Chains A and B, each alone.
Chain A
Amino acid sequence: ETGVTQTPRHLVMGMTNKKSLKCEQHLGHNAMYWYKQSAKKPLELMFVYNFKEQTENNSVPSRFSPECPNSSHLFLHLHTLQPEDSALYLCASSQGAGTGWSGYTFGSGTRLTVV
């Protein structure tokens, strides 16, 4: 374990369902992120939270709704998704920026399939 835990590992949902992805980090980091990983595409940044304040929303459709109740927990609420939303959703955390940057620590991801 790297200190970033994501649940569930796999999720199959219908287009009318509502579900949530959960991410938890025990590293004392101050920033958390959601990334989408689709086949043959770059990792796509979705949301950034610094000290539980959202600082980045990378033009993500409103059917994805993030929530960061504290600096250790991050959720991604899903509703009325489309089949093209099927992907691996990775959570990451980090500490510092600029010359203090130490890189991301990634979770294992949630493999989402929308049917």
Chain B
Amino acid sequence: GENVEQHPSTLSVQEGDSAVIKCTYSDSASNYFPWYKQELGKRPQLIIDIRSNVGEKKDQRIAVTLNKTAKHFSLHITETQPEDSAVYFCAASIGNQFYFGTGTSLTVIP
């Protein structure tokens, strides 16, 4: 089955700096890669996603890149703000079955 690895597990950045979280996957059949943000005590929420026919997608301060050959995808957050502090999960999907990474706890220091 699919195996998704996510790094780093914790990340601290100064407010205004950029944050990058990386994920790798093993199954080349995976074709959809969402990122979820989970604030403390709240449900995971989809923040951005990318399909396998696209290499990059951007939504304001958030961007995701996908390298199908290398089987890795990354989340980029620019101009970080304290409210970006949360746990971020990547996932790779085949059909409607998702495989999640272990999560990255991001702390943005004011």
**A40-B103 Cα distance, complex, nearest whole Å:** 8
Q: Which residues of A contact B42 (CB under 8 A)?
A: 108
Residue from A2, A42, A50, A97 within 8 A of B101 (CB atoms)? A42
Q: A42-B4, A42-B101, A101-B32 are in contact. Are A94 and B96 (CB under 8 A)?
A: yes
A contacts with B: majority SS: loop
**CB pair A101 B45 closer than 8 Å:** no
Interface flag for B100 (CB, 8 Å): yes
**CB pair B43 A90 closer than 8 Å:** yes
**A31-B96 Cα distance, complex, nearest whole Å:** 9
**A56-B45 Cα distance, complex, nearest whole Å:** 23
B38-59 interface bits toward A, Cβ cutoff 8 Å, 1 = contact, 0 = none: 0000111110010100000000
Interface residue range, chain B: 20 to 34
**CB pair B102 A56 closer than 8 Å:** no
Give me the interface of B with A, judged by CB distance under 8 Å: 4, 9, 31-32, 34, 36, 42-46, 49, 51, 89, 91, 93, 95-103
Interface flag for A66 (CB, 8 Å): no
Q: Which among A31, A103, A106, A108 has the highest number of chain B CB atoms within 10 Å?
A: A103
**CB pair B51 A56 closer than 8 Å:** no
Interface residue count for A (Cβ, 8 Å)?
Answer: 23
**A43-B51 Cα distance, complex, nearest whole Å:** 21
**A40-B45 Cα distance, complex, nearest whole Å:** 19
Q: Which residues of B contact A50 (CB under 8 A)?
A: 96
Q: A41-B102, A90-B43, A98-B95 are in contact. List 9 more A-B contacts (CB 8 A).
A: A2-B43, A42-B99, A42-B100, A42-B101, A90-B44, A99-B51, A101-B32, A101-B93, A108-B43
B90 to A, closest residue via Cβ: A42
Interface flag for A46 (CB, 8 Å): no
**CB pair B102 A40 closer than 8 Å:** yes
Q: Which residues of B contact A109 (CB under 8 A)?
A: 43
Interface residues of A in 99-115 (CB under 8 A from B): 99, 101, 103-104, 106-109
**CB pair A107 B43 closer than 8 Å:** yes
Q: Which among A56, A107, A109 has the highest number of chain B CB atoms within 10 Å?
A: A109
